[in-house]
């Protein structure tokens, strides 16, 4: 044998309550391909591709938005189609369930936002005011209002059952992302002009204008304790600011291309980023130190997530591969059944399932063992 190679010495997959046999094949450097004897639950109803999919707040349903301009609600246990909602006449860009799950909302290139009854797909209201494509949405945490953002450079705040926006927040160019804080009193937006803006959505006051001198900011999010704001950037950096003062913090450097996706761990101690450079990176959110580099073989990352308990990481790429990693960024498994780019991932609230939405026209719901762990011992061989 060659010297200094690393081999899997012990593999432990603890699945006491997992009802079906899981077959594993060990790859070099500890990477596994999981091919369960029972396939992932397949939701197949959007022949032109799936743009987004989300779990219901109680994990009983899955909502999907297709490139066929249709919305479907599925039973998350057996995969039966429960509801079909039609009304958009152009590409749906984003979807979300209301916090209580009674409604879901969608925004589309037809310049509308629509709110629907979850139970039967009946429309509750259609919101018309944007004069260009509507690409972003967020429910206020209490579910009473909906924020929508579009390429017309505005964010509009609507009563969920109303038809007239209560507040309009103006931006000089297209809105790229929107995020409420937990109080629902502040909203963070990213704009195509390269800046983040923090708003008081009670009054419409602009609290902070945050920008980067050497790059444009594409996405922003609050830390779980909301003391910090993190941003993804087109120059490959991640920047941090203090939320209350707007004072700049560490700049996290390591990616060599655009950072498209960024999430905090549930405890706020780590950040996970995904880039067009073909890697995800795990960071210490206090020091800015890189903890691990997660390779996707030079394929663009399309989504990254922490499981709700923070012990498992998931990443997806433009080839249709999902990779699972332990909390330290060590590889655990590859899930590869999609035949095209994965547009988004979503964990169930209990972390037992992971869904993936793809341009191949399917949503797949993967049942995960409670403790997918690997004990790798490095051995020297002669």
Q: What distance in Å separates the CA atoms of residue 302 and residue 322, rounded to the nearest whole number?
A: 10
Average pLDDT, the chain: 89
Q: Is 346 a residue whose pLDDT tops 90?
A: yes
Q: How many CB atoms lie within 10 A of CB 369?
A: 17
Q: In this predicted structure, what is the pLDDT of residue 372?
A: 64
Q: What distance in Å separates the CA atoms of residue 62 and residue 376, rounded to the nearest whole number?
A: 36
pTM for the full predicted model: 0.88
Give tens-digit pLDDT for 291-328. 999 999 999 999 999 999 999 999 999 999 999 999 99
Give tens-digit pLDDT for 50-97. 999 999 999 999 999 999 999 999 999 999 999 999 999 999 999 999
Burial of 104 (0-12, 13-18, 19+ CB in 10 A): buried
Q: Is 136 a residue whose pLDDT tops 70?
A: yes
Residues 6+ apart with CB under 8 A from 268: 223, 224, 225, 285
Q: Is 1 a residue whose pLDDT tops 70?
A: no
Give the pLDDT band of residue 26 (cuts 50, 70, 90).
very low
Give the pLDDT band of residue 285 (cuts 50, 70, 90).
very high
Q: In this predicted structure, what is the pLDDT of residue 73?
A: 98
Mean per-residue pLDDT for 262-278? 98
Mean per-residue pLDDT for 177-202? 97
Q: In this predicted structure, what is the pLDDT of residue 118?
A: 98
Q: What distance in Å separates the CA atoms of residue 293 and residue 295, rounded to the nearest whole number?
A: 6
Give the pLDDT band of residue 212 (cuts 50, 70, 90).
confident
Instruction: Take residue 146 and report the two structure tokens written for it.
Output: 């909906």
Domains for the chain: give ranges and CATH numbers: 1-84+296-382 (no CATH), 87-211 (2.130.10.10)
Torsion on CA atoms 316, 318, 320, 324, rounded to nearest 10: -20
Give tens-digit pLDDT for 104-117. 999 999 999 999 99
Mean per-residue pLDDT for 241-251? 96
Give the pLDDT band of residue 373 (cuts 50, 70, 90).
low
List b or e across 123-133, with b for residues whose CB sees 16 or more CB atoms inside 10 angstroms: ebbebebbeeb
Q: Specify the length of the chain in residues.
A: 382
Give the pLDDT band of residue 216 (cuts 50, 70, 90).
confident
Q: What distance in Å separates the CA atoms of residue 229 and residue 175, rounded to the nearest whole number?
A: 17
Mean per-residue pLDDT for 212-221? 85
DSSP string, 217-233: EEEEEE-TTSSEEEEEE
Q: Is 379 a residue whose pLDDT tops 60?
A: no
Q: Which residue has the tokens 């039967």?
A: 120
Give the pLDDT band of residue 378 (cuts 50, 70, 90).
very low
Secondary structure in 3-state letters for 57-126? CCCCEEEEEECCCEEEEEECCCCCEEEEEECCCCCEEEEEECCCCCEEEEEECCCEEEEEECCCCCEEEE
Share of the chain above pLDDT 70, in %: 86
Q: What distance in Å separates the CA atoms of residue 307 and residue 354, rounded to the nearest whole number?
A: 9
Q: In this predicted structure, what is the pLDDT of residue 228?
A: 98
Share of the chain above pLDDT 90, in %: 84
- Is 30 in a helix, a strand, or coil? helix
Give the pLDDT band of residue 39 (cuts 50, 70, 90).
confident
HSE-CB of 104 using CA atoms within 13 angstroms:
28
Q: Is 15 a residue whose pLDDT tops 90?
A: no
């Amino acid at each position: 044998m060659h010297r200094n190679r690393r081999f899997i010495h012990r593999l432990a997959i603890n699945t006491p309550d997992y009802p079906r046999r899981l077959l594993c094949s060990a790859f070099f450097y500890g990477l596994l391909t999981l091919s369960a004897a029972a396939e992932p639950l397949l939701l197949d109803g959007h022949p032109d591709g799936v743009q987004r999919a989300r779990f219901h707040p109680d994990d009983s349903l899955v909502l999907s938005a297709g490139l066929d301009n249709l919305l479907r609600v599925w039973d998350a246990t057996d995969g039966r189609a429960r509801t079909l909602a039609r009304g958009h006449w152009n590409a749906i860009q984003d979807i979300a369930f209301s916090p209580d799950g009674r409604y879901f909302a969608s925004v589309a290139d037809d310049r509308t936002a629509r709110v629907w009854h979850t139970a039967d797909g009946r429309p509750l209201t259609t919101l018309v005011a944007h004069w260009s494509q509507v690409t972003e949405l967020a429910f206020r945490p209490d579910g009473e209002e909906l924020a929508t953002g579009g390429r017309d450079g505005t964010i509009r705040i609507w009563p969920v059952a109303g038809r007239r926006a209560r507040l309009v927040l103006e931006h000089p160019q297209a809105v790229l992302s929107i995020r409420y804080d937990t109080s629902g009193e502040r909203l963070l937006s990213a704009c195509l002009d390269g800046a983040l803006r923090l708003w008081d959505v009670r009054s419409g006051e602009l609290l902070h204008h945050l920008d980067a001198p050497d790059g444009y900011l594409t996405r922003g999010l609050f830390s779980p304790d909301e003391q910090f704001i993190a941003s993804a950037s087109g120059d490959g950096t991640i920047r941090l600011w203090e939320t209350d003062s707007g004072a700049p913090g560490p700049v996290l450097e390591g990616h060599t291309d655009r950072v498209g996706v960024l999430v905090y761990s549930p405890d706020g101690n780590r950040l996970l980023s995904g880039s067009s450079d073909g890697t995800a990176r795990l960071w210490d959110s206090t020091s800015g130190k890189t903890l691990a580099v997660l390779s996707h073989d030079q394929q663009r990352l399309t989504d990254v997530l922490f499981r709700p308990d923070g012990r498992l990481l998931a990443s997806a790429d433009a080839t249709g591969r999902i990779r699972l990693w332990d909390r330290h960024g060590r590889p655990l498994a590859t899930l590869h059944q999609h035949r095209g780019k994965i547009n988004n991932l979503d964990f169930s609230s209990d972390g037992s399932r992971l869904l993936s939405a793809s341009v191949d026209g399917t949503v797949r719901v993967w049942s995960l063992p409670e403790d997918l762990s690997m004990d790798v011992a490095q051995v020297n061989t002669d």
